[in-house]
Structure 1
Amino acid sequence: MPAGHHESAGRTKNTKVRPGNPYLKGALGLAAFGAVRTKDTYLQARYKRLTARRGPLKALVAVEHSIITAIWHMLTDNVAYQELGGTYFTHRDPERVTRRAITQLNQLGYAVTLNPIEGTA
């Protein structure tokens, strides 16, 4: 949660990272940097999605937040970490991914016709 209620017209505005334990922040930074470099993981997929919109440093801070949130839930609920996988966002809303791919191909000048593969639809 941001340091204040920086909200206007229903949109949350950017704010600075709140002060905290510098050792924990450093460790989270290293953990996030390692997590985004591992292949086919949820955290890498999240980083790639956010990097396109926010830039690499803000995306890295968002991954740090995801890690600390996961740790909090693991400690609070006494459960193990469940890796969602690198294809989590694709499987979550496949129609959105399809629409986006079609739009990109249309922008490149291609007419797209979709024919579902038998046995998968």
Structure 2
Amino acid sequence: MRTRDTYLQACYKRLTARRGPMKALVAIKHSIITAIWHMLTDNVPYREPGGTYVTQRDPERATRRAITALNQLGYPVTLNPTEEGSV
């Protein structure tokens, strides 16, 4: 069964950019084995946090990462905060 926008897929993409595809694959395999061990030990089902879990957990870090990437591509970035109700 193939699914999209999963936590493990997002982790793989982030790790691939830093470590390369083979090391990222081994790290994801380790995460899967660890999750299986916890599910069997604690007798709980797997809860999928979703592909946007990391972004939702620390949105400021995601913003800094995006700004840095745009700056490295040669696009100067200035942020203009919006009001809470106008989003």
Question: Is this a same-fold pair by TM over 0.5?
Answer: yes
Give the aligned partner of residue 93 of structure 1.
Answer: 58
Residue 18 (structure 2) pairs with residue 53 (structure 1) = yes
TM-score by length of 2: 0.84
- Structure exhibiting the larger radius of gyration computed from Cα positions: 1
Once the two structures are TM-superposed, the CA of residue 111 in structure 1 deviates from its matched residue by: 2.3
Q: Which one has a larger percent helix, Structure 1 or Structure 2? A: 2
Distance in 2 (CA, whole Å) between partners of 1:39 and 1:74 is 22
What is the alpha-carbon root mean square deviation over aligned residues? 2.0
Gaps of 5+ in 2: none
Report percent identity of matched pairs: 79
Quick check: 1:38 aligned with 2:3? yes
TM-score, normalised on structure 1?
Answer: 0.62
Which of 33, 36, 40 does residue 75 from structure 1 map onto? 40
**Partners in 1 of 2:33 and 2:73 — Cα distance?**
40
Q: Which gives a bigger RCO, structure 1 or 2 (Cα 8 Å, sep 6+)?
A: 2
Gaps of 5+ in 1: 1-33
